[in-house]
Amino acid sequence: MCDVREIFGHNLRAIRQSRGFTQERLAYVSGIDRSYVGKIERGQVNLTIDKLYLLAATLGCSPKDLIPEI
């Protein structure tokens, strides 16, 4: 079974790219450090609910679009 963080990171990357965002742009607009965005996408960090909602709002998607299904 894949790590939930890795699946979340994959979902984030896919939605980010589909919206035409680079990591740099997502970081700038959301106020999250670019290197942290990269770590999220690689599944290397546990992010907070606040950051989950911030990323979803920035990308114009629902938080559930980012969270892996059980």
Residue with tokens 């989950």: 52
- Is 45 among the domain residues? yes
Residue 29: which CATH number?
1.10.260.40
Residue 41 included in any domain: yes
Range of the domain at 34: 4-58
Residue 70, domain member (yes or no):
no
Q: Please report the pLDDT score of residue 25 as a whole number.
A: 98
- Written as tens digits, the pLDDT of the chain (70 aa) is 479 999 999 999 999 999 999 999 999 999 999 999 999 999 999 999 999 999 999 999 999 999 998 7
Residue partners of 5: CB distance under 8 A and separation at least 6: 43, 44, 45, 46
**Is 18 within a domain?**
yes
Report the distance separating Cα 67 and Cα 29, nearest Å.
21
Structure tokens at 35: 């290197």
Q: Please name the residue ranges forming H helices in 1-70.
A: 4-18, 23-30, 34-41, 49-59, 63-66
Q: Is residue 34 situated within a structural domain?
A: yes
